[in-house]
Structures are given as structure tokens and as C-alpha cells.
Amino acid sequence: MTSSTTSAPTPTATPGRLSIWAQFIAMGVVWGASFLFMKVALEGVAFGQVAWSRLVLGALTLAVIMLVMRPRVAGPGGVLGPILPREPIVYLHFLVVTLSGCVVPFLLYAWAEQYVSSSLASIYNATTPIATALLATLAFRVEKLGRMQWAGVVVGILGVLVIIGPWQYAALTGSLAGQIACVAAPLCYGVMFGYTRKFLSGRPIHGVTFAFLNIGTGALVMLVLTPVVALGALELDPLIVGSLLVLGTVGTGLCYIWNINVLRAWGPTNTSTVTYVTPVVGVILGVVLLHERFSWHEPLGAILVVVGILLAQNRLRRRRPAPAA
């Protein structure tokens, strides 16, 4: 998942160029590998336990960072503001953000990977910019798409249909249901990005605090849901424990801070290119380590999705020639 379509408050310090590149690459690799880690973890724990572990471990990681950094944003006159927002409405906004951007999609992807390959799940995750563009325009009205961008949305949706291959199913199967869950997760991210941009992006909240409130609120929700999603038998071994630790501490903790740093340095459009990195990493790891295979229509659909993203982000516009001197 990437949060590249949201804007962030003015940073208190700007990381160096090399550091930003390192964070961008690390973010793409970790998020791409997260689908492999989920698949491995599902060998010993239930899908709800995977999502529960991600958010609780991520929140603990960010809480430690918060305690060490005690981040604040400078207000008018250079006066530092509070570490945590004081307006109660902000926490209600974060509840909506974490439900749509963490709790529900994490559960959907973990459930789906019981029935679909990690490679396929990573490809579906790449449709997030298309879902975001669609919902930001129609539901939240924070963006306006041009004709080429609408064409990109249509091409991306066509790509999703090609990946699913509806001609293969006469009834609802586990594989089809898993793919539908993988389509629903990016739609949830689209809701989260549009809502964040409309209600939270303009508030003076430090990036680390923003990540902590997002993941921390999700962890509280999961703790409340523990009897429903997290209780059950466990079959743990070092590989499964390691997968859960990386998913939580790095993929759901550190990566959210890296994403905000890259967003501040590069802006939303360039940061969104992580969308092209994550499925490549996810597919390579799934094929090499888990020996996953594709049907002919899945790579074709993935190509259509990438073309749709490029169109939706105005990356295929023809450059006008410079006027003659």
C-alpha cells in the first residue's frame, strides 16, 4: 500500500537526497515483499491473526519512535505545538482513516491469500492509484479527472477484469472470492486517501505523529476485536514469527514514516511510482521462492493496469515542442 496521494504538513527537517532514495527503495521492497510474508505467515496462523499482528506490532514500533523523537510541528511565530492533536474530531477522522486504510484492507488481503497467490495479490494492490483517482473525483470531490485520466481509469478496470478472467468461473469459487477481496482492498485505500486529503492533510500534524495515530488507532480497533479475529490455534516456527515481525515492525511501522519523508521530498506524483516497484518485487518473490505460476491472462491484465495507471497519472502526455527562438 502506498499513501502517495495525500499531502503532508511542512517538515521540520528535510532528509538528504541519498536518504530519500534509500527510503523509497526500502519502502518498495518491503511493501512488495509483504505479500510473501503474509503467505508464509498463513501457514501457521489465521488470516485475522496476521492482520492483528501487523497493526499491533506496527503501533508498538511507532510508539517507541514517538517516545524517542517527541515530534512537534512549529506553529505561528515558531512556537512548537503539542505532540498529539488536541481536537477530539481529529481522532474520529483517524478512526475512519484506519478502518478504510488499515483494518479492513489488511483483513481482506490476509483472507484473500488463503485462496490466491501472493504474486496475484501484489498485482491487484497496484490498482490503488486507479481506485484513488476514481474515489477522489466521484466520492470526495478533491480532484478532477481529464479525458485521458478517465481513459486510464477505464483501461485499469478492464485490466482487472482480464486478470480475474470471469470466463473461467461458472460459480463463486474460493479463487474468485479471493480475487474480489483483492479488488476491494485498493478501493478501501482509495477511500482512505480521499478522506485523508479532505479532512486531515491540512492539519499541522508531524509525519511521525500522523503515522502513529493511523496505525495506533488501528491497533486499538484490533485489540477490541481480539475475541473475533485473533483467538485461535497457532503453529509458530521461526519463519512464521519472522514474517509477522517484519510485516508489523517494518511494513506497518517504519514504512509509513519512510513514505511520508519521500512524499515531502518528491511530492505525490513521484512518490506514487512506488506502485510500479511493489508488484515487481511481489511477483519475483512469489515466483522464485514460492514457485507460483500465472495463467496467460494475468500478465496481460497487469500490463493493462500499468497503462491505466500511467494514463490516470498523466504520465503519457505528449510533450509539446519548445517554441523556436
Q: 97-108: per-residue pLDDT in tens?
A: 999 999 999 999
Separation of alpha carbons 91 and 221, rounded Å: 13
Tens of pLDDT, residue by residue over 168-199, are 876 777 899 999 999 999 999 989 988 988 89
User: What 8-state DSSP symbol labels residue 117?
Assistant: -
Check: CB of residue 56 under 8 Å from CB of residue 219: yes
Separation of alpha carbons 51 and 34, rounded Å: 12
In sequence order, the β-bridge partners of residue 204 are: none
Tens of pLDDT, residue by residue over 34-75, are 999 999 999 999 999 999 999 999 999 999 999 999 988 877
CA distances from 189 to 61, 131, 206 (A): 22, 8, 21
Does position 6 have pLDDT exceeding 90, yes or no? no
3 state DSSP class of 74: strand
User: What 8-state DSSP symbol labels residue 102?
Assistant: I
* 119-142 mean pLDDT: 89
φ, ψ of residue 80 to 5 degrees: the values are: -75, 135
Tens of pLDDT, residue by residue over 211-245, are 999 999 999 999 999 999 998 888 989 999 999 99
Q: In the predicted model, what is the mean pLDDT of the chain? A: 87
Separation of alpha carbons 115 and 176, rounded Å: 8
What DSSP element (H or E) covers 115? none
